[in-house]
Amino acid sequence: MEFNDALNADGVKSLEGKPAEIVSETLFSALGIVNEIGNTQENRAQVNVPRNLEFDQSGMPILDQKNIDNISRTGTHEDLHMAGLQHVTDKKNLMNRENLGGNVITPEQRKAIIQNVELQQQ
């Protein structure tokens, strides 16, 4: 897991071959990104720390529990992408694309992670 002040497109499979403006917009707007969804063996996850923080009027980051939780949740979300999970629409689910504070992972998602890891370790 890399905690950065900007995301890097090197090795990110979902951005390969995309127009430069799409890559730039994705890297600018994303809270985090992984090189390849579902690759549990060789992968890289990145968390864009500034995109996960709130700032005070002078431009300094507010390092309160809410912001620390946002960074942790984004890191976990990206780790779950590496384990094979995709985005879902349920706002309570940790895999919701909008990262709205969800912290739920369903039994089906847990089963899918275990199956994916076991398959790749054979």
pLDDT along the chain (122 residues), means of 10: 86 95 93 94 90 84 86 93 95 89 94 95 84
pLDDT of 32 reads 93
pLDDT of 62 reads 84
| 3-class state of residue 114 by DSSP | helix
pLDDT of 55 reads 84
Nearest in space to 91 (alpha carbons), one of 83, 100, 80, 78: 100
The amino acid present at 12, given as its one-letter code, is: V
Q: Is the pTM of this model over 0.75?
A: yes
The amino acid present at 36, given as its one-letter code, is: E
Nearest in space to 67 (alpha carbons), one of 48, 86, 85, 80: 48
pLDDT of 2 reads 83
